[in-house]
Amino acid sequence: MSTTETVNPTQEERVAQRPSKAYLIGPVLALLSIPAYLIWLDVPRLRSTALQSFALMIAGTVVSLMTLKTDRRRRAKGAAIGTGGFLLLGAGMFFFAAKLPPPAGAPEVGARVPAFTLPDQSGQPVNLASLYQRGTTLLVFYRGHW
């Protein structure tokens, strides 16, 4: 018998007695989806799809469910339910709460745009026709800043 064989069991016993914190990995992964979304807000593809956030929420839910196989404590079950619920909430907010009203009579491709004149940031009136008559114009409506 070597010394390592006599030492190892006691180490393992100590590890087994220590309450496992593994059940926290899933919720932490899922919560990271929020900063992951905010960090890449300027990347149109990630802003539009939130791929990175859904990947983290799904990974967190899978990890939580796997943890349940070895950890049957109530806190582990709570963590799994919370993580799965967070994924459903995130999907609900992303796909349904953020839905915009469908365009009502917006000019179709081929149709003429309505004429308008609006003040620019200096208060100078700008006529849309004066822009597109000079060349192809990209007109952008955005939600404003706040």
Partner 1 sequence: MIAVSVDAPSESRDVVERLDLPFDILSDVDAAVVRQFGLLHAGGNPHGGDTTVPAMFLIGREGEVLWRRIAQRIQDRPDPREILDVIERLTAAAP
Query: Among residues 22, 48, 58, 63, which is the contact residue for partner 1, using CB under 8 A?
Result: 48
> 41-80 in b/e burial notation, b at 16+ Cβ within 10 A?
eeeeebeeebebbbebbbbbbebbeebeeebeeeebeebb
Stretch that binds partner 1, among 6-14, 55-63, 66-74, 104-112 (CB under 8 A): 104-112
Q: How many residues bind partner 1 (CB under 8 A)?
A: 50
Minimum CB distance to partner 1 smaller for 7 or for 55 = 55
Q: Helix or strand or coil: residue 39? A: helix
Cα-to-chain-centroid distance, residue 100: 18
Closer Cβ to partner 1, 23 or 37, answer by number: 37
Under the rule (CB under 8 A), what is the footprint of partner 1? 44-45, 47-48, 50, 94-95, 98-116, 118-123, 126, 128-129, 131-133, 135-146
